[in-house]
Chains A and B, each alone.
Chain A
Amino acid sequence: VSGQDVERELGKLFGRVPPPEPSATLRAAISADRSAPERRRGLRTLSRRLGLGLVGLAAAALLVLAALPFVGGGPISSSKPSSTSAPIRASAVDGEFRLDFELAKGTWAPNEPIQGTATLSYTGRGRAQISSGDPTIAFEYREVGGSKLMRPRFEDVLRYPDLAAGQPISTGLTKSGSIGNFANDPNVAFYQSFYPGPDVYLPLGEWELTAIADFEEGSRYALRVPLTIQIAGEGTPPASQPLPPSDCARIYVVEPNETMASIAAMYNLQLWELELANSAKDPASFYPGMILCIPTPGFLTQPPPT
């Protein structure tokens, strides 16, 4: 082995084991970090787009001040669940973007899949180029007066880099959630009942569902639209996911476009090892949001460390 061989081997290594792509979770976390301490609105962007001078800028500032109650992503209209069958809806406006959130009704049974739609539209002229950040629409599920919470899970719902006036983008209600430290998370039982299957079911009680659009266009936008619903009446929700064994090295929530094989490879496991560690699950029902137990590599063959 010569020095040149070593250099060649290194070159090949970086081709064989390419660097990973940033996950949607990472991008969302970074976005959230940036918006946390100080949030500056799109004043500069607005004035630039409109070609305003100093006076215009002051006028724009007044406009923004006047719009303050809405700018924070607060709802401009909201309806409480009054009837059990009428749709409920609310919206939020931030600059020239508008997010509408509608649920088919205000009261749902525990065994009814909840149905709704969030729509993001651009109300300015021409097209808005979404410059960076994953443009996403996600949903948060929060128990009113309780502790159950499913945080938004940001996925690429908006595939287009820009939004045109009059061409809104819609997405149906999707599951959310990011699980931190599984062992210490008080919401584990809730996650297990929430995750099975692609449909959204919630336990009895009052819930706040929030549609969130998060993207950047000149400045950062985060529109939030909450709606409150009741889960009441008869009916049994679908069975919970079985509890992963406590000796899992990690709990993993499946992301879109992943397969058992790709996840096994990511954790240096054989496919059968991963399947065995998750033997209670039906391999045919593999979907984003499914909770997998990631065992320690070689967990079947290696004796426990002493």
Chain B
Amino acid sequence: VERELRVADLVPVLSGDEAFGERADRYLRRALGLAFYILGDRLEAEDATQEVMLRAWRARASLRDPDAFEPWVDRIVVNTCRERLRRNRRLRDVGFDPGFTTDGEGESAVEPEVADRLEPLLARDSVGRALLGLTIEQRTVVVLRYWRDLSLEQIAARLDWPLGTVKSRLHYALAALRERLERDEKEVQV
């Protein structure tokens, strides 16, 4: 699905900030795409991406290995999106459970409040709606696997999640999507 060439193949070796700015600019579309599929909304995704690029820029000195650029930015994208969803949720619902860190496998299958406020485009599509019905962690794994074509091992390394966690998240995500699509199919037939 991704048609962009690898940055490293195109850019002659520059030094320091120049190279960093150039890489970041060329990677912008893919970072924005990832944020868009996680958040489901173009403008939210643009806001998040601006935040991501600012964070990356400020922390650029900490990136020693230039080949690690893409995984590094992807991780910032995912973390920023999670924080933004959490923040928005706090704003909307003061009384919500503060233990949002659903890193265990017992995570709730659906976050309806989150899905509710993700308006256009993705929500217009039946498969997109099913995708937005997943937890953010499940959705992230699905997007990296099927949009970015990354292997489970790459996803685990990229997000610093245990491989087993990535596998089970993808497993539960696909099961939930399947259930949702089957339900839609039945509804259509009736």
CA distance A10 to B18 in the complex (A): 37
**Mask for A22-43, Cβ within 8 A of B = 1, else 0?**
1101110110011000001000
Does A116 have its Cβ within 8 Å of any Cβ on chain B?
no
Residue numbers in A under 8 Å from B1 (CB-CB):
11, 14-15
Does A272 have its Cβ within 8 Å of any Cβ on chain B?
no
Does A131 have its Cβ within 8 Å of any Cβ on chain B?
yes
Query: Are A3 and B49 neighbours in the complex by a CB distance under 8 Å?
Result: no
Residue of A nearest to B184 (CB): A1
Chain A interface, number of residues (Cβ within 8 angstroms): 43
Query: Are B124 and A268 neighbours in the complex by a CB distance under 8 Å?
Result: yes
Total CB contacts across the A-B interface at under 8 A: 114
Candidates A14, A17, A34, A297; contact of B21 at CB < 8 Å: A34
**Mask for B126-143, Cβ within 8 A of A = 1, else 0?**
011001000000000010
Does A19 have its Cβ within 8 Å of any Cβ on chain B?
yes
The winner among A10, A44, A220 for most chain B CB atoms within 10 A is A10
CA distance A20 to B43 in the complex (A): 10
Residue numbers in B under 8 Å from A21 (CB-CB):
29
Residue numbers in A under 8 Å from B57 (CB-CB):
33-34
B28-62 interface (Cβ within 8 A of A): 28-30, 32-34, 36-37, 42-43, 45-46, 49-50, 53-54, 57
Stretch at the interface among B63-71, B80-88, B175-183: B175-183
**Mask for B66-78, Cβ within 8 A of A = 1, else 0?**
0000000000000
Candidates A2, A19, A219; contact of B18 at CB < 8 Å: A219
Residue numbers in B under 8 Å from A22 (CB-CB):
28-29, 32, 46, 49
Residue numbers in A under 8 Å from B42 (CB-CB):
20, 266
**Mask for B19-32, Cβ within 8 A of A = 1, else 0?**
00110111011101
Stretch at the interface among B97-105, B115-123, B158-166: B115-123
**Which 4 residue pairs across A and B have the least CB separation, nearest first?**
A19-B33, A268-B120, A13-B127, A10-B146
